[in-house]
Structure 1
Amino acid sequence: MKYKANILFSVGSALFILLSCNTKPKTQKEERSAEPSRPNIIFILADDMGIGDLGCYGQEYIKTPHIDRMASEGMRFTQFYAGSTVCAPSRASLMTGQHTGVTHVRGNGEFPLLETDTTVAQLLRQQGYSTAMYGKWGLGLEGTAGEPQKKGWEHFTGHLHHVDAHYQRPDSLWRLKDGKLQKFATPENSYSNEIFAQDALQFIKQQPEDKPFFLYLSFTIPHAELVVANEYMQPYLDDKGESVFTPETAHPDGKHYGPQPYPKAAYAAMVSSIDHYTGQVLQQLREKGIDKNTLVIFSSDNGTHVEGGRSMDDVAFFNSSSNYKGVKRDMYEGGIHEPFIVRWPGQVKPGQESDHIAAFWDVLPTLAELGGVEKTPENINGISFVPELLDQGKQPQHEYLYWEFYEQGGKQAVRKQNWKAVRLNIKKDPDAPIELYDLSADPAETQNIADKHPDIVAEMENIMQEAHTPSPLFSF
């Protein structure tokens, strides 16, 4: 069911969303007069941002006016999931249209995409799109089959290795020049995400009007090193230069991530910085006059983190996971249930809220359909949600969504309609008990009702066996 939402935004305060149900069928007069042409496509991805970190999803303390406006001008999904609960497999799912029971990259580490893996960038480039990626890649180092230029990207500036992306002021980055990767030194004390944003803006400026483009802007914020430019920190500091979110527990120097005296203020500043970059992109589209033919998507790769000085108390303070249980590395909703916003003026009607259940592996078939791709790879798990976006025809539904994860003892999860199943510690006990939750009545997953529904538990166990395929790299 869809809802029309009148959204009132107030900087620095809670957002109030007044929803009025509208189930009246569209009349013929309401149909669009013409089919949309192939749009430019921009996918903006946050790194470790919780669904509750944005104003349009209920955030009260962190200012995100540009993303909130983007939601008011498009469609805000309430049941959208990341590909995994950590970055590399989540991004692999996004790029390949496969869930983690199938995709080659199922965890963080030295695991590049295969030569046989086809990405959404490759499909769109074959259709004549210019392709550019700025930010965190993490799906193939130099010399592997997963190098960006081998996976459809014509332009690239960013991190090849996910660990390099831990640091907000790296001394070097990679860039594609004449189709080859080159490492270059960054300006002293520069912030990598500022470089990514500026390269993206320049790319948009340079694009000809007669050729569509696909831009993937994969930021490294608000990931664990809580280091951010002073301009974004200022709104969260008082007149003494101290955090407005007292008490704060400082993160000391000498750790993996850089020091930060005010982790809560820095985290808020990082979220606001990605909002600022998103606003710059939207403004650039308006200035170039291509706003109405550009589809812009905003999401996050997994739930919020408790690293780099950030604690569970901080997560609770900001309500970063919204009303959901868990954070990054959890298979509970807080680890994988993400913000997902789509804006396409004139095609995606403004002020919409969608409860369509979807995940990152649906992005490839969706963008492929919009980009004119006639045939997608046969081994994908995704289903296009174009009917949901454009309100045209019946939207096909998944029979289920499936995830598997290999850290912390091994985990599996399944969502089927309103049922959610979670299995933990599989490496220790392959027959570990399955937890079962009814998300319609218990979205916070507080009541394990497995003992009351043995038939549903048996069905979920069968799905876990069916959805999992053997992997040469990952094993429970």
Structure 2
Amino acid sequence: MAGVTRRRVLGSAAAGAAALAGPRAARAAHAPNIVFIMADDLGYADVACYGRPDLATPHIDRIATRGVRFTQAYANSAVCSATRTALITGRYQYRLAVGLEEPVTTRFAGGIPAGHPTLPGLLRQAGYRTALIGKWHLGSVQDYGPLQRGYDAFWGFRGGTIDYFSHRGTDDKPDLWDDDVRIEEAGYATHLLGQRAVEMIAASAKAGRPLFLSLHFNAPHWPWETPDDEAESRRIAGSNLRHFDGGTQATYRRIVGEMDAQIGRVLDALEANGIAEDTIVVFTSDNGGERFSDTWPFTGRKTELLEGGLRIPAIVSWPRRLKAGAVSTQPMITMDWLPTLLAAAGSAPDPAYPSDGIDLLPILTGQASELLRTFFWRYRANAQAAMRDGDLKYLKIRDNTFLFDVVADPLERANLRDRRPEDFSRLQTAWTAWSAGMLPERSDSFTESYTGAQLADHFGVGAPAGK
């Protein structure tokens, strides 16, 4: 059954081209392909071109060599599914109930509401073939799955992570899908996702219809398993996969390296099919790094609103339009991708659901100067709040409040709260006003954090109340 479904998926890419007609077909014929690659829990410095000296990522670096590398990119959240809500809607995740989950767990029965416009859905309206390969994590119930929210095809997993070999989730249930059909397929997950992406690119190129491909890896998310660690997969079978007694720096480097190799296959497939020149390739992460990540020059990690939990690598290439080898200091955030990619496709956000992000294309193409930006965050665990306004950042963790200049002081060490009280009060007041316009926090939503019992550098930190 799995093979039949996959053939149907790939075959329909070609068949779908014939269905386009009129103005939409003309617009789509000149639209760039888009390959959006998202790593899972990759730290800011976990890529060689961002400064990690002990890790080789030649293919991710290749995207940077051919495009633009952002040095002030932020995730919409310090945890995965909240950021993915912002990515697919182009809006602050706190506008939707699913975005209040930090992250979505199997106990959550909702997802993106029916009728809410999404990035793949809007691109499909513009004539694109849309496909998600990899992680969804925006609702495990079929009614809220990727095929119901704008994707024409799906091959991957619905939950937060899977074991790299057994493909079981944190609830120990099989979680590998071909469209809405649960399947079993042997192999290391990163390799399987890369292979599906290569197949999809080839099929789409033959069809002559622009492709929006979301390639969302589970790497380098735990469990800490390389292609040589099937014994570790068996050891932790039946658990929630977090194995705080597992992993090493060498293991982590290998996991990232395997993902990089698959990204290389994808880039090679674009070249082999003659579509690389007019394909937008984005590489980024869903949040800051976790246990074995490098977040230098920042402190903090996933689940924390310190810079290390929010700052991410972000690279975009588009050989036909963007300057190669450029570095941008423009502050940007995950929800900017929706208006930016829609503009590249000749489309725009639904006016009834205006994006909270901005179209970055004028800045990327040199038609506009870089802008000062203001970003806001909330995170329920440890009562966290944050706002960046220009170079200044307001931060609250439990009852402790801070004001940092994150450009001059990226480590967030010098608290300027008492030295610059007017700025502190201004940002705190602005954050309160912004939060009042979002959905209120809910005590029954899940919020993830790390305690002193789990990570030694979190000594004194307990589990959040009501978790």
| TM-score normalised by the chain length of structure 2 | 0.80
Q: Paired residue for 1:112?
A: 111
1:454 counterpart residue number: 421
Q: What residue is the counterpart of 1:51 in the other structure? A: 44
Q: Distance in 1 between matches of 2:305 and 2:339?
A: 25
Which residue of the partner structure matches residue 474 of structure 1?
442
Do the aligned partners of 1:100 and 1:402 also contact (CA within 8 Å) in 2?
Answer: no
Equivalent residue number for residue 135 of structure 1: 134
2:320 is matched with which residue? 346
Give the counterpart letter for 2:407 in structure 1.
S
Aligned to 1:169: 166
Q: d(CA) in 2 for partners of 1:253 and 1:293?
A: 44
- Identify the residue that residue 92 of structure 2 maps to in structure 1: 99
Provide closer, same or farther for how the CA distance between residues 423 and 262 of structure 1 changes in structure 2, counting only shifts above 3 A. closer
Which amino acid counterpart does residue 175 of structure 1 have in structure 2? Answer: W
Whole-Å Cα distance in 2 between the matches of residues 474 and 277 of structure 1? 39
1:407-422 correspondence runs (5 A): 407=381, 409-422=382-395
Q: How many Å separate the matches in 2 of 1:115 and 1:86?
A: 24
Q: Partners of 1:103 and 1:258 in 2: how far apart?
A: 28
Matches within 5 A, 1:53-452: 53-104=46-97, 105-106=99-100, 107-109=102-104, 110=108, 111-144=110-143, 146-162=144-160, 164-165=161-162, 169-171=166-168, 172-177=174-179, 181-187=180-186, 190-207=187-204, 208=206, 210-230=208-228, 256-257=240-241, 263-306=248-291, 310=292, 315=293, 320-377=294-351, 378-394=353-369, 397-398=372-373, 400-407=374-381, 409-425=382-398, 432-452=399-419
CA contact (8 A) 1:159 1:173 kept: yes
Give, in whole Å, the separation in 2 of the partners of 1:271 and 1:149. 29
| C-alpha deviation, 1:294, in angstroms | 0.3
Q: Secondary structure at the match of 1:464?
A: helix
Deviation at 1:388, TM superposition (A): 1.8
Distance 2:199 2:62 in 1: 23
Q: Give 1:253 shift.
A: 5.2
Letter in 2 for 1:415: R
Contact map agreement 1:365 1:376 (CA 8 A) in 2: no
Shift of residue 113 of structure 1?
1.4
RMSD over aligned CA atoms reads 2.3
% identical aligned pairs? 31
Cα offset for 1:99? 2.0
Q: Is the 8 A contact 2:167 2:189 kept in 1?
A: yes
Query: C-alpha displacement at 1:112, in angstroms?
Result: 1.3
TM-score (norm 1): 0.78
Q: 1:21-40 to 2 correspondence within 5 Å?
A: 37-40=30-33
Structure 1 residue 77, shift from structure 2 partner = 0.3
Residue by residue over 1:416-465, the C-alpha shift from the partner in whole angstroms, topping out at 9 and shown as x without a partner, is: 1100111122xxxxxx4531101122111011111111111111112212
Structure 1 stretches of at least 4 aligned residues deviating more than 6 Å after TM superposition: 258-261
- Unpaired stretches in structure 1, ≥5 consecutive residues: 1-35, 234-251, 426-431
- Return the alpha-carbon distance in structure 2 between the equivalents of residues 417 and 71 of structure 1: 25
Shift of 1:473: 6.4
Deviation of 1:405 after TM superposition, in Å, equals 1.1
Unaligned runs of 5+ in 2: 1-28, 169-173, 230-234, 446-467
Higher helix share: 2
CA, structure 1 residues 447+387, in 2 after alignment: closer, same or farther (shift >3 Å)? same
**Partners of 1:77 and 1:353 within 8 A in 2:** yes
What do the CA deviations read for 1:70-126 (whole angstroms, capped 9, x no partner)?
211110000010111011101111111112443431221225111243211011000
Deviation of 1:169 (Å): 3.4
SS at match of 2:95: coil
Q: For 1:52, what is the secondary structure of its paired residue? A: coil
Change (3 A) 1:473 1:185: farther
> Deviation of residue 333 (structure 1)?
0.7
1:126-185 CA-partner distances (Å, limit 9, x unpaired): 0010000011100022333x21111100110111121x43655315444354xxx11112
Distance of aligned partners of 1:357 and 1:173 in 2 relative to their CA distance in 1, 3 Å threshold = same
CA distance in 2, matches of 1:291, 1:117: 32
- Mark the CA change 1:57 to 1:156 in structure 2 (over 3 Å): closer, same or farther: same
What is the total number of aligned residue pairs between the two structures? 396
Residue type at the aligned position of 2:428: E
> C-alpha separation between the residues in 2 aligned to 1:132 and 1:175?
13
SS of structure 2 residue aligned to 1:455: helix
| Cα distance, 1:154–1:142 mapped onto 2, change above 3 Å | same
**1:463 counterpart SS class:** helix
Contact 1:55 1:62 in 2 (8 A): yes
